[in-house]
């Protein structure tokens, strides 16, 4: 099904994990995809793999924490592909530590990527979406943003913050036919989760009614739904993709 034929989709953090899965999902559905990621090596390898299926896909090295780099990437994407229909603010990092041990740098790095990065990309692309009276913005929150998590004060603050941004932007941008939604994944089997001790992972699986970790595809499928015409009247929503771990 080529439901995203003629759509140009920017995916931040598209070089690996959930973002990479989303790149392939959208390409299979006919989209033109532009990966914005700080990791050039990983980005080039994702690009090479994705190009194998003959779709239009590009990689731009962008650190989303840097507003000038983001602005350049927006201009370069528009110049090359003419528009940006969908922005998926997927890039994110963890620097886990309890409040007793966390350093200021660990706090700030996570705020910069997970919150300011989302702000930079959204602010840069919005005028282009308003010009076209069309847009879909999908932000990546987390179950941790909804319920908190031991040892993740920085991460939880950013993922709750993303929900606040999502609801505010849904209110501000609805009149321009731009929807803004968030996805709140549970524990998904990517590099990010490899930093969590096995004991904790097993505990999470045990607590999850569906008795498994999520896959990157589980989240990518939800991004694709929210970007599709079927989701045209959904805005300001936070969709959990967590195997019911939080109920």
The nearest distance, CB 87 to ligand NAI, in angstroms, is 13
The nearest distance, CB 117 to ligand NAI, in angstroms, is 5
Q: Parallel, antiparallel, or unpaired for β 86-89 and 8-12? A: parallel
Cβ closest to ligand NAI, residue 27 vs residue 91: 91
Q: Kindly identify the residues of this chain, within the stretch 70-99, that bind ligand NAI according to CB under 6 A.
A: 90-93
In contact, 140 and 218? CB cutoff 8 Å: no
Nearest-angstrom CA–CA distance, 213 and 223: 18
Q: Which stretch binds ligand NAI (CB under 6 A): 11-19, 49-57, 173-181, 221-229?
A: 11-19
Helices 67-81 and 117-132 meet at what angle, rounded to 10?
30
**Which of 104, 134, 147, 155 is flagged as catalytic?**
155
In contact, 150 and 197? CB cutoff 8 Å: no
Nearest-angstrom CA–CA distance, 155 and 110: 6
117 binds ligand NAI (CB under 6 A): yes
For 48, the token pair is 């090479």
Cβ closest to ligand NAI, residue 111 vs residue 130: 111
Using DSSP's 3-state secondary structure scheme, residue 246 falls into coil
**Which spans of this chain sit near ligand NAI (rule: CB under 6 A)?**
12-13, 15-19, 37-39, 42, 62-65, 90-93, 113, 117, 140, 142, 185, 187-188, 190-193
What residues are annotated to the active site? Answer: 155
């Amino acid at each position: 099904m080529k439901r995203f034929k003629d759509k140009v989709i920017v995916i931040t953090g598209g070089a690996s994990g959930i973002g990479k899965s989303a790149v392939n999902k959208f390409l299979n559905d006919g989209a033109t995809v532009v990966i914005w990621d700080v990791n050039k090596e990983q980005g080039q390898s994702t690009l090479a793999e994705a190009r194998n299926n003959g779709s239009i896909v590009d990689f731009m090295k962008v650190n989303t924490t840097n507003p000038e780099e983001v602005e350049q990437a927006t201009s370069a994407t528009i110049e090359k592909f003419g528009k940006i229909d969908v922005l998926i603010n997927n890039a994110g990092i963890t620097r886990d530590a309890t409040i007793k041990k966390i350093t200021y740098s660990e706090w700030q790095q996570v705020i910069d990527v997970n919150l300011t990065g989302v702000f930079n990309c959204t602010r840069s692309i919005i005028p282009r979406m308003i010009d076209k009276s069309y847009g879909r913005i999908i932000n990546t929150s987390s179950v941790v943003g909804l319920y908190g998590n031991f040892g993740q004060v920085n991460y939880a603050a950013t993922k709750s913050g993303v929900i606040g941004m999502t609801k505010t932007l849904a209110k501000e941008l609805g009149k321009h036919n731009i929807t803004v939604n968030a996805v709140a994944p549970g524990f998904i089997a990517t590099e990010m989760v490899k930093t969590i001790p096995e004991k904790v992972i097993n505990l999470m699986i045990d607590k999850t009614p569906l008795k498994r970790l999520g896959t990157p595809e589980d989240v990518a499928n939800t991004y694709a739904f929210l970007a599709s015409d079927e989701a045209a009247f959904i805005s300001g929503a936070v969709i959990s993709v967590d195997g019911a771990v939080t109920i």
